[in-house]
A = this chain, B = another copy of it.
Amino acid sequence: MSDKVRRYLLAYDVESDARRNRVAKTLESYGDRLQYSVFVVDAKPAKLIRLKAAVTDKLDVATDSLLVCDLGPLSGGDRIEFIGVARPFTGQGPLVI
């Protein structure tokens, strides 16, 4: 596995407010919040493994869901576009409105 930084989009569906807040806090410590339940994280493999462990620890895997989407290397250009309210994030290309 290459040790390069890749960009990930993460989104959760968490039933309980308490768990949801803990998951959100954890994800915010790793990256930027784009929407209420959607985050972007730039990570090398080791950081992603730590993030997944930290979040899984706070989920009820029987009812909750964490989606992890690999957007590829940072050099892959900007894959994220907003319509309406757009939250800036680290390493974002020019914001086109």
B11 & A35 in contact (Cβ 8 Å cutoff): yes
A65 & B81 in contact (Cβ 8 Å cutoff): no
* Contact-size category for A: 35 or more
Q: Is A74 part of the binding interface, using a Cβ–Cβ cutoff of 8 Å?
A: no
Given A68-B83, A69-B79, 17 extra CB contacts under 8 A:
A9-B9, A11-B11, A11-B38, A35-B65, A36-B37, A37-B37, A38-B38, A56-B84, A59-B83, A61-B85, A62-B85, A65-B84, A65-B85, A65-B87, A66-B84, A67-B82, A69-B81
Closest 9 CB pairs of A and B: A65-B85, A61-B84, A66-B83, A13-B35, A70-B79, A68-B81, A65-B84, A64-B84, A11-B38
